[in-house]
Amino acid sequence: MTAIASARRRRRAVDRLAAAAIIAAGIGVIVPLLAILLFLLVKGLPALHVDLFTRITTGAPDGGIKNSIVGSAVLLALALVMGLPPAIATGIYLAEYGRGRLGFLIRFLVDVLAGVPSITIGLFVYTAVVLNMGKVQAITHSDQKFTAFAGGVALALIMLPIVSRVTEEMLLLVPQMTREASFALGVPKWRTILTVVLPAASSGVLTGVVLASARVAGEAAPLLFTTLGNNFYSISVFRPIDALPLRIYTYATGPFQYQHDQAWAASFILVMLVLLLSVSARLILQRRLR
Amino acid sequence: MQLTDTRARADLQRSGRLLGRFDRRELLFRALVTAVALSVLLLVLAMIYELTRQAWPAISKFGLRFLWSTEWNPPKERFGALPFIAGTLITSLLALVFGTVVGLGAALFLVEFAPPWVRVPVSYMVELLAAIPSVVYGLWGVFVLGPWIQHTAGPFVLDYFSWLPFVKGPPLGVGIFAAVLILTIMILPTIVAISRDVIAAVPRSQREGILALGATRWEMIRIAVLPYARSGVLGAAILGLARAIGETLAVALVIGNSTNVPDSIFSPAYTMASVIANQFREVENDMHRAALIYVGLLLLIITLIINAFARLLVWRVTKGQITTVIE
C-alpha cells in the first residue's frame, strides 16, 4: 500500500513540476516581445522628431530620414508591381490546375523558396540583375548598377512564395458549388476563376498581400547589394535608393550617438508600420471568416 | 452498349465544338498560369546556376577543401569557410535546442493548459514576434542585449558554468552567446506555431483514453500527445533551424565579426550569412568576391536541403495542410 501511495506522490510531484515548466515556457515566450516593444518606446519615442520626416540624411545630428522613408515606399511599390501578378498566377495554378505530380512539385518548390535566406536572394539578384545593368543602359538611361529596380526584384522574389501559397489556400476555401453554379451558366473555367472565384477569395488574398508587404518592408539583407542605400533623396527607379531597414543597419553600426538615436526612432516607425500591417491583415481575415 | 458509346462520343464532340470558342482562351489561360508557375522551378535552378557561375573562380581554385580550410585571408587570396560554417552550425544548433525546449513548452501551454482568454492573446503575441524585422532585433541586440550579457548574464554563466567545456573568456556582449539568444527568440514563433498546430491535431480520444486509465496530465502529454506529434514537432524544429541558418542582419550586428574558429560561447565569430552581409560590399579582390559567393552557394544548398526535408515531414503529419506560410 505504501509503495503505491509513494508512487502516486511521486507521479503527482512530477506532474506539478512539468506543469510549472510548461506554464513558465508559455509566459516566457512573450517576455522578448514585451522587452523589445518596451525599449522601442523608451528609446525610439523620445528620438522622434518632425525633422526626421522632412529632412534627408546630412551626416550631422540635424539630418532626417525622409530619403529612407520615401525609399521604402518606392521599393514596396516596385515589389508589389513586379511580385503580385506572378504570385497570384502561381496561386491560381496551384489551386485550380495543379492537381497532378507537376502541381505537387511546384507547391513543394514554392515552399522551399520561402525558406531561402534573404541574403542569398540578394546575392542572386546582384549576379542576375546588378551585374547586367550595363547591358540595358540604352533603355534605362542610367549608368548606375545598384538600383531601386534591383531591390524591387529581390523583394518581389521574397513576396512570391508567401502570396502564392496564401492565394492557393484562399481559392481552395471558395466552395466548389460556387464554381459549379458558374459552369452551369456556361461560363468557361478561366472566366469562372477570374470573375467568380478570385473575387470571392479577394479579402483572403489581400490578407496575404498585406502580410507579405509587412515582411518585405522590414527586409534589409536583400537590399545591401541591390539598392545599396543613398544619403540623398531619390525616387528614381534606376538609381540607388535608401530604405528604412537599411538606414537602421547603417546607423546601428555607426559611431555617433545621434545615429543610434535615429536608428531607434527609425525602428519605432518601422515596427509600428509592420505591426499596423499585421494587425490590419488579421482584421481583414477575421471579417471574412465571420 | 455500342450505340450509347457512339452517341456519347457524338455528344462530346458537339459540345466540344460549341465550347470551341471558349476552349482556345481556356487553353491560353491555363498555359499562362502554368508557365508562370513553372518559372518558380526555373527560378530555383537559375539561383543555383548563377551563384555557381559567379563563384566558379573560387570553386575551381579551392574545391571542396574550402569546406574545412580555416584560413580566410583576402589580401593573400586564400580562402576557407570553416570558421563561418562552424559559426553557423554552433549558433543555429544551440538556438534550435533552446528554441525547441521553450517553444514546445509554450505550444503545450497553449493547447493543454491555457484557457481561451489566455490562449488567443498569447498566440497572437507570438505571431507578432515573427513580424518584427530582423534588423530591429539586431539593434535591440546591440544596445540592450549586449550590455546585459556583458554585465549580468555573462558573469553569471561564467560563475556557475565555467566547468563546462567552451565556457570561458571575457563576456564581451557581442559574440556567439548573444547570437544564440537572438536566434532563439527569432525562431520561437515558427516552432510555437507549428508545434501548437500538430499538438492540437492529436485526436481527443487518444487523450481521453489515457486519462481514463488514471494518468496525470503530464503522463498524458508524455505518453499520448508527444509521440503522436513527434514528427510534426521535428519538422517545426527543422524549419526553425533553416530560419536560424539563414538569419542575417540580426546576427551580423551581434556576433562580433571574427574570422577565427570560435573556441568559447563568448567568442566573437561569423556565420555564413553574416560574413556575406559584412564583407561583400567591400571586397578586396575578385577572388574575395567569388569566395563570398561560394559561401552564399553553400548556404543556399544547405537551406534548400533542410527546407525540403522539413516540408516533407510537416506535410506528412498535417496531410498537406500547411498552416504556417509566413515565417
Residue of chain A minimizing CA distance to B27: A190
Nearest chain A residue to B256 by CA: give it.
Answer: A253
Q: What is the pLDDT of residue A47?
A: 83
Residue B325's pLDDT is what?
39
Q: Are the beta carbons of B50 and A124 separated by less than 8 Å?
A: yes
Average pLDDT, stretch B218-237? 88
pLDDT digit string, tens, across residues B181-190:
999 999 999 8
Q: Are A239 and A68 in contact (CB under 8 A)?
A: no
What's the pLDDT at B271? Answer: 93
Nearest chain A Cα distance for residue B111, angstroms: 10
| Shortest Cα distance, chain A CAs vs residue B41, angstroms | 7
Residues of chain A with pLDDT > 70, as a percent, come to: 99
In degrees and rounded to multiples of 5, residue A241 shows phi and psi of -140, 155
How far from chain centre, in Å, is Cα B104? 16
Average pLDDT of the segment spanning A248-263: 89
- Are the C-beta atoms of residues A280 and A251 closer than 8 Å to each other? no
- Res B183: pLDDT: 95
Mean pLDDT computed over A161-188: 91
Cβ contact B257:B270 at 8 Å:
yes
* Mean pLDDT, chain A, integer: 89
Kindly tell me if the per-residue pLDDT of B218 is higher than 70.
Answer: yes
Instruction: Say if residues A209 and A285 touch (Cβ distance below 8 Å).
Output: no
Q: Per residue in B239-265, pLDDT tens? A: 889 889 999 999 999 998 888 888 888
- How many of the other CB atoms lie within 10 Å of CB of A286? 10
Q: Name the more confident of B140 and B19.
A: B140
Distance from the Cα of A198 to chain B's closest Cα (Å) equals 14
Is the pLDDT at B321 greater than 60? The verdict is: no
With 60 as the cut, is the pLDDT of residue B9 above it? no
The model's pLDDT over B26-44, given as tens digits with 9 standing for 90+, comes to 889 999 999 999 998 899 9
The answer to whether residue A288 scores a pLDDT higher than 80 is: no
SS3 track for B44-94: HHHHHHHHHHHHHHHHHHHHHHHHCCCCEECCCCEECCHHHHHHHHHHHHH
Tell me which DSSP letter residue B215 carries: -
Do A205 and A167 meet the contact criterion of CB atoms below 8 Å apart? yes
Measured between beta carbons, the chain A residues lying within 8 angstroms of B245 are 117
Given a cut of 70, is residue A290 above it in pLDDT? Answer: no
Burial of B10 from C-beta contacts in 10 A (0-12 / 13-18 / 19+): exposed
Q: What is the mean pLDDT of residues B189-212?
A: 90
What share of chain B has pLDDT > 90, as a percent? Answer: 45
Question: What are the phi and psi torsion angles at B73 (to 5°)?
Answer: -130, 85
ipTM of this predicted structure: 0.90
Across residues B53-72, what is the average pLDDT? 91
Neighbour tally for B206: CB within 10 Å? 15
Which has more confidence, A237 or A154? A154
Q: Is A255 exposed, middle or buried (0-12, 13-18, 19+ CB in 10 A)?
A: exposed
Given a contact cutoff of 8 angstroms between Cβ atoms, the answer to whether B129 and B189 are in contact is yes
Closest chain A C-alpha to B303 CA, distance in angstroms: 6
Better-scored residue on pLDDT, A117 or A136 = A117
Tell the residue number behind the cell numbers 543602359, with chain if given.
A137
The predicted structure's pLDDT at residue A284: 82
The answer to whether B77 faces chain A, any CB pair under 8 Å, is: no
A247 confidence band (pLDDT: 50, 70, 90): very high
Cβ-contact A17, B104 below 8 angstroms: no
Q: Please report which confidence band the pLDDT of residue B51 belongs to, taking 50, 70 and 90 as the band edges.
A: very high
Best probe of the B interface among A4, A22, A169, A216, by most B CBs < 10 A, is: A22
Please report the pLDDT score of residue B322 as a whole number: 45
Query: Measured between alpha carbons, how far is residue A69 from residues A65, A104, A159, A234, B20 in Å?
Result: 6, 40, 20, 11, 52
**Average pLDDT score over residue span B148-174:** 83
Predicted confidence at residue B13, as pLDDT, reads 52
Over residues A92-117, the pLDDT tens digits come to 999 999 888 888 899 989 988 988 99
Is domain B62-318 given the CATH code 1.10.3720.10 in the classification?
Answer: yes
Using alpha carbons, select from B238, B208, B237 the residue that is nearest to residue B224: B208
Q: Which pairing describes strands B72-73 and B78-79: parallel, antiparallel, or unpaired?
A: antiparallel
Flag whether pLDDT at A76 surpasses 90. yes
What pLDDT was estimated at residue B96?
A: 94
Tell me the pLDDT band of B318, cut-offs 50, 70 and 90.
low
- Residues of chain B in contact with residue A86, where contact means CB-CB under 8 angstroms, are 36, 39
Which stretch of A82-86, B60-64, B154-158 has the lowest confidence by average pLDDT?
Answer: B154-158
Which residue stretches of B141-285 are H helix? 146-148, 154-161, 176-200, 204-212, 217-220, 226-246, 249-254, 272-279
Q: Do A30 and B122 touch (CB under 8 A)?
A: yes
Q: Is the CB of A245 less than 8 angstroms away from the CB of B143?
A: no
Contact criterion met (CB < 8 Å) for B25 and A109: no
Taking residues A219-225, what's their average pLDDT? 92
The model's confidence at residue B1, banded by pLDDT at 50, 70 and 90, is very low
CA A190 vs CA A205, B15, B231: distances in Å: 18, 17, 39
Is residue A97 within 8 A of residue A152, CB to CB? The reply is no
**Contact state of A113 with B219 under an 8 Å Cβ cutoff:** no
B80-102 confidence digits (pLDDT tens): 999 999 999 999 999 999 999 99
